[in-house]
């Protein structure tokens, strides 16, 4: 008899996002406006009638937590496309308190541009009735103080397609095409599978509150990793010789795998270092300009182990694993 049939699903980490069978079901993204080239708003104005804000260098602030894989995507893409001068960056403390993400890494505990101490202030200013989780990444408008978007899959695509006039040679010394029109039809299904089974799959393992839900998420996760392991047997990156958007999305989960998901989320059939092609691939990305320099293992470990109280009530952060393997010969 399994744990869940004897005891029933436990209360979830986020009970409003836990199904009756103990599955983790992620909340939707509340703010889905976009910053686009075809916005009909003038500079300094808010969104047009279609929720499109004007592209303007220096106007918007990207808010990230360095521990968060969804936020990490936008940090990598912003750097690879050389958008650092066009879109400023705010980094929150990896540990949330009962009011959520805090700007405690900044002088006086306030974001110097937005002037707020908690990200929830921007969310509630934008929507006073908002009751969901306040999440990173998000883009905040520095003119009005409103949250434009926390729609993380769209944020990176828009950095590639809508901010082209502000692309500069990025970390790589070039402007990579992360979302080539001719590859999108092949890339999108891969992105969707990786999201369902890997990016979100590790959370479905970690936040499951029944044995069946965990088993199902675990099996799907490693089945998908096996498929990706096979795909990378004869490809340098997922689409070929150059990294693409899909590689950004897989990398941000892989780089957290051994440090957080293997132990904290019980994703422990194999370590990343035990899957040779995925390990070769992740390490190669890590060593490229604009990738490894965005990884903060201290923030990653402290965030996961010290934030999810129901999974790790002692909040003890493990000393291992040895992350020097990422750069070792």
Active site residues: 68, 203
Give just the sign of the alpha carbon dihedral 281, 168, 155, 121. positive
Q: By CB under 6 A, is residue 27 in contact with ligand GSH? A: yes
Q: 52 φ, ψ to 5°?
A: -105, 120
Q: By CB under 6 A, is residue 150 in contact with ligand GSH? A: yes
Q: By CB under 6 A, is residue 304 in contact with ligand GSH? A: no
Q: Using omega within 30 degrees of 0 as the cis cutoff, is the peptide bond preceding 137 cis?
A: yes
Q: By CB under 6 A, is residue 29 in contact with ligand GSH? A: yes
Contact stretch for ligand GSH (CB under 6 A) within 36-44, 65-73, 82-90, 292-300: 65-73
Quote the least distance from Cβ 308 to ligand GSH, whole Å. Answer: 9
Nearer to ligand GSH, 4 or 253 (CB): 253
Q: By CB under 6 A, is residue 312 in contact with ligand GSH? A: no
Q: By CB under 6 A, is residue 277 in contact with ligand GSH? A: no
Quote the least distance from Cβ 87 to ligand GSH, whole Å. Answer: 18
Quote the least distance from Cβ 174 to ligand GSH, whole Å. Answer: 29
Site string for ligand GSH, 152-191 (x = CB under 6 A): x---------------------------------------
Q: By CB under 6 A, is residue 288 in contact with ligand GSH? A: no
Nearer to ligand GSH, 26 or 235 (CB): 26
Nearer to ligand GSH, 136 or 295 (CB): 136
Which member of 24, 70, 207, 257 binds ligand GSH (CB under 6 A)? Answer: 70
Give the helix ranges, DSSP H, for the chain. 3-7, 69-80, 119-126, 152-161, 184-194, 201-206, 211-231, 245-256, 262-264, 276-287, 297-307
User: Contacts from 10-16 at CB under 8 Å and sequence distance 24+?
Assistant: 10/209, 10/210, 10/310, 11/209, 11/310, 12/207, 12/209, 12/310, 13/207, 13/308, 13/310, 13/311, 14/133, 14/207
Q: By CB under 6 A, is residue 261 in contact with ligand GSH? A: no
Q: Residue 211 CB: number of other CB atoms within 10 A?
A: 17
Nearer to ligand GSH, 74 or 210 (CB): 74
CA dist 109 → 81, 91, 102, 103, 249 (Å):
30, 11, 8, 5, 31
Q: Helices 245-256 and 276-287 meet at what angle, rounded to 10?
A: 110
Binders of ligand GSH: how many residues, by CB under 6 A? 13
Sheet of 60-64, strand order: 88-91, 60-64, 138-141, 147-149
Quote the least distance from Cβ 152 to ligand GSH, whole Å. Answer: 5
Quote the least distance from Cβ 196 to ligand GSH, whole Å. Answer: 14
Contact stretch for ligand GSH (CB under 6 A) within 64-72, 257-265, 278-286, 320-328: 64-72
Q: By CB under 6 A, is residue 135 in contact with ligand GSH? A: yes
Cβ contacts of residue 174 below 8 Å, gap of 6+? none
Q: By CB under 6 A, is residue 136 in contact with ligand GSH? A: yes
For residue 204, give the nearest of 41, 10, 16, 17 by alpha carbon.
Answer: 17
Q: By CB under 6 A, is residue 90 in contact with ligand GSH? A: no
> Which tokens belong to 39?
């916005």
Residues forming contacts to ligand GSH in the complex (CB under 6 A) are: 26-27, 29, 65, 68, 70, 100, 133-136, 150, 152
């Amino acid at each position: 008899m399994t744990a869940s049939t004897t005891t029933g699903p436990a209360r979830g980490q986020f009970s409003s996002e836990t199904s009756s069978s103990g599955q983790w079901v992620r909340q939707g993204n509340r703010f889905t406006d976009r910053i686009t080239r075809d916005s009909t708003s003038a500079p300094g104005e808010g969104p047009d009638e279609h929720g499109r804000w004007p592209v303007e260098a220096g106007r918007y602030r990207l808010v990230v937590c360095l521990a968060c894989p969804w936020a990490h995507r936008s940090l990598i893409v912003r750097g690879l496309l050389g958008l650092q001068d066009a879109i400023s960056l705010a980094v929150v403390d990896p540990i949330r308190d009962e009011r959520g993400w805090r700007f405690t890494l900044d002088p006086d505990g306030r974001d110097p541009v937005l002037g707020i101490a908690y990200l929830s202030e921007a969310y509630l200013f934008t929507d006073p009735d908002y009751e969901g989780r306040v999440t990173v990444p998000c883009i905040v408008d520095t003119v009005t103080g409103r949250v434009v978007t926390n729609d993380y899959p769209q944020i990176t695509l828009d950095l590639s397609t809508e901010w082209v006039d502000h692309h500069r040679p990025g970390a790589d010394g070039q402007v990579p095409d992360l979302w080539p029109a001719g590859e999108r039809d092949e890339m999108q299904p891969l992105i969707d599978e990786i999201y369902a089974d890997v990016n979100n799959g590790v959370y479905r393992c970690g936040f499951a509150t029944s044995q069946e839900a965990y088993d199902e998420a675990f099996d799907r996760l490693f089945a998908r990793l096996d498929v990706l392991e096979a795909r990378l047997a004869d490809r340098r990156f997922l689409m070929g010789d150059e990294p693409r958007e899909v590689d950004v999305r897989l990398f941000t989960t892989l780089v957290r795998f051994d440090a957080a998901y293997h132990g904290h989320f019980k994703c422990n059939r194999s370590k990343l270092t035990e899957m040779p092609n995925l390990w070769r691939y992740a390490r190669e990305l890590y060593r490229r300009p604009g990738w490894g320099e965005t990884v903060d293992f201290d923030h990653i470990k402290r965030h996961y182990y010290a934030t999810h109280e129901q999974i790790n009530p002692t909040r003890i952060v493990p000393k291992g694993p040895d992350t020097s393997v990422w750069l070792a010969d």
